Amino acid sequence: MPLSNITDPGTLPPFAVSLGDPAGIGPEIVAKAWVMREARGLPAFFAVGDAASLRAVWLGPVEIVGSPEEAAQVFPDALPCLQVAEAGEIVPGSPSIDGARTAFQSLEVAVGLARTGSAAGIVTAPVGKEQLYGVGFTHPGQTEFVAERCGVSAQNAVMMLAGPSLKVVPITIHIALADVPSALTIDLIRARALTTVKGLQRNFGIARPRLAVAGLNPHAGENGALGREEIDVIRPAIESLRAEGIDIIGPLAADGMFHARARETYDAALCMYHDQALIPIKTLNFDDGVNITLGLPIVRTSPDHGTAFGIAGTDSANPGAMIAALRMAAEAARARIAYAA
Ligand SMILES: NC(=O)C1=CN([C@@H]2O[C@H](COP(=O)(O)OP(=O)(O)OC[C@H]3O[C@@H](n4cnc5c(N)ncnc54)[C@H](O)[C@@H]3O)[C@@H](O)[C@H]2O)C=CC1
Ligand SMILES: NCC(=O)COP(=O)(O)O
């Protein structure tokens, strides 16, 4: 049953967790999260990928299951895994073509299960983007892929990084820095802001979200002396949103808007490019930061970090962000049920 038809949060099916690149730390942090399922109050979940990638880094119980229903039964006693492909020889830290194909397929299957309502949502472990691009993945990231599969345009799917101290949204995402100024348009800023407002209401239960918008240039442009994007694009977008009743401030100088007192004045910061948004959140909340996609009909979260190939297989990966992603997925699913009621 699609999540939108579920009225009792107690009846949520398990979450589908795509294992990401088999040679990255995804399998390890998923296994560690399962170990902490009771201590951290995690929702039921099952892995989607190659069970061999779990067994390559973990000696705990893994049980291959044929359906989410079976996974829900198995979850208390073993980590359920829906086997979607075989990744060939798995060497933690050494990504391979077969591994990238498995990551791609796991993502595809997990999204499909969430779309039909067999899974309550998806939590995606990290993929190697370069490796995925090498096996025919044509989207910049998982965000845009999931959006497309859900019939949502990339413009209306918002990547939000959320942690205990801060929520940020990059307006432009995976593009070269040199391409950012021309990619910034009034329409794009408006679309991201409107999806963010709705997403904060629907997934976080914030009735009247407050947004703060960063400038692009140093000191937010100094009234045009250091660049015109604030005058030509960012300010007109903010003014039109404010005219529609959105609680929004900016453009603010980006270097001064992330200190503790400033963060108290808004619920989410809209930033003009990837690193402007992700550096502050990863500095503040690296071990419990979550990437949540807003604007989708399904719940999708992910840990904020990448594959960490350099430490894969050393049992030193911190599962904190994966645990936070699982918890946030469950909270978002419950908030959506309450919002729809
Ligand atoms: N959501 C996703 O699928 C994401 C995928 N990536 C991909 O990950 C790959 C590596 O990217 P990097 O920029 O190196 O970022 P990264 O997040 O993988 O690693 C950055 C640093 O943090 C450490 N680290 C990351 N997660 C950790 C954890 N859970 N516990 C302990 N240490 C941890 C790493 O060892 C490294 O020192 C790239 O191929 C990139 O495309 C990057 C970000 C997000
Ligand atoms: N840096 C964030 C990131 O790469 C996440 O991308 P996505 O694959 O979740 O779209």
**Whole-number pLDDT of residue 341:** 81
Domain ranges within the chain, ordered by starting residue? 1-152+296-341, 155-294
Which atom in ligand 2 lies closest to the alpha carbon of residue 126?
8
Q: What span, in angstroms and rounded, lies between the C-alpha atoms of 94 and 86?
A: 16
Ligand 2 center to 92 CA (angstroms): 21
Q: Which of 4, 30, 7 is nearest to 18 (CA)?
A: 30
Angle at 284 between CA 278 and CA 289, to 5 degrees: 65
Of all protein residues, whose CA lies closest to atom 4 belonging to ligand 2?
141
**Nearest residue to 17 via CA among 60, 65, 89, 59:** 65
pTM across the whole model: 0.96
ipTM: 0.98
Sign, Cα dihedral of 274, 199, 203, 261: positive
DSSP state of 42: P
Question: 161 alpha carbon to ligand 2 midpoint, in Å?
Answer: 10
Ligand 1 atom nearest to 291, measured from its CA: 1
Tell me the pLDDT of the chain (341 aa) as tens digits: 666 666 667 789 999 999 999 999 999 999 999 999 999 999 999 999 999 999 999 999 999 999 999 999 999 999 999 999 898 999 999 999 999 999 999 999 999 999 999 999 999 999 999 999 999 999 999 999 999 999 999 999 999 999 999 999 999 999 999 999 999 999 999 999 999 999 999 999 999 999 999 999 999 999 999 999 999 999 999 999 999 999 999 999 999 999 999 999 999 999 999 999 999 999 999 999 999 999 999 999 999 999 999 999 999 999 999 999 999 999 999 999 999 88
Same fold flag, 1-152+296-341 and 155-294? yes
- The answer to whether the beta carbons of residues 135 and 102 sit under 8 Å apart is no
pLDDT at 11: 80
Cα–ligand 1 centroid distance for 306 (angstroms): 3
CATH superfamily of 1-152+296-341: Isopropylmalate Dehydrogenase (3.40.718.10)
Residue 65 makes CB contacts below 8 A (sequence gap 6+) with 46, 71, 74, 80, 81, 82
Residue nearest to atom 4 of ligand 1 (CA): 306
Residue from 131, 142, 73 nearest 102 by CA: 131
The dihedrals phi and psi of 288, each to the nearest 5 degrees, come to: -145, 30
18 lines ligand 1 (CB under 6 A): no
Give the three-state DSSP class for 331.
helix
Amino acid, single-letter form, for residue 64:
I
Cα 120 to Cα 2: distance, rounded to the nearest angstrom:
8
The answer to whether 305 is annotated as binding is no
Tell me: is residue 259 an annotated ligand-binding position: no
Second CATH level (architecture) for the domain 155-294? 3-Layer(aba) Sandwich (3.40)
CA distance 249 to 243: 12
C-alpha 45: how far from chain center: 17
- Please identify, by atom number, the ligand 1 atom nearest to the C-alpha of residue 311: 35
Q: Which of 127, 290, 307, 315 to mutate to test the pocket of ligand 1 (most atoms within 8 A of CB)?
A: 307
Location of structure tokens 């595809």: 108
